[in-house]
Amino acid sequence: MKAKVVEKVKFAPGKWKEAGELMKEFKKMSEKHNFPPYRIYTYISGGDAVQTLSFVTDWDSLADMETLMDKMYADPETMQMMEKWAGVVESHEVSILKELTPQELGME
């Protein structure tokens, strides 16, 4: 089952510059571990528009996501980066979405 992961990250006040540096570090880590391409969105309106980004990743399967996450959590360098990340993030929400077909919705 393909899945789309949306991570809504609100950065703590005054931590925007540090967040930028950590995003550079995360980009390197994601390339090292063959993380799928992700897109970064900011809010134009609605929700928490200030200091909030959404990271969107398409996964071929939840099993692929689990395997990669296990690899990343086993990497001490990744874990050090994640500890730093915790110091700049105010909140982090993760949603996993599955696209529905018209058949699944009873539309056909």
Q: CATH no. for residue 82?
A: 3.30.70.100
Structural domains counted in the chain:
1
CA angle at residue 19 from 3 to 91, to 5 degrees?
A: 60
Per-residue confidence (pLDDT) for residue 68, from 0 to 100: 94
Q: What is the pTM of this model?
A: 0.85
pLDDT-wise least confident of 10-24, 34-48, 57-71, 86-100 = 34-48
Domain residue limits at 30: 3-97
Whether 70 maps to a domain, the answer reads yes
| pLDDT per position as a tens digit, 3-53 | 999 999 999 999 988 999 999 999 998 999 999 999 999 988 876 677 899
The Cα 78–Cα 12 span in angstroms is: 21
Whether 9 maps to a domain, the answer reads yes
- Taking CA atoms, 5 is separated from 54, 69, 93, 108, in Å, by 10, 13, 10, 27
Which pLDDT band, with edges at 50, 70 and 90, does 73 fall under?
A: very high
Q: Enumerate the β-bridge partners of residue 38.
A: 57
Whether 42 maps to a domain, the answer reads yes
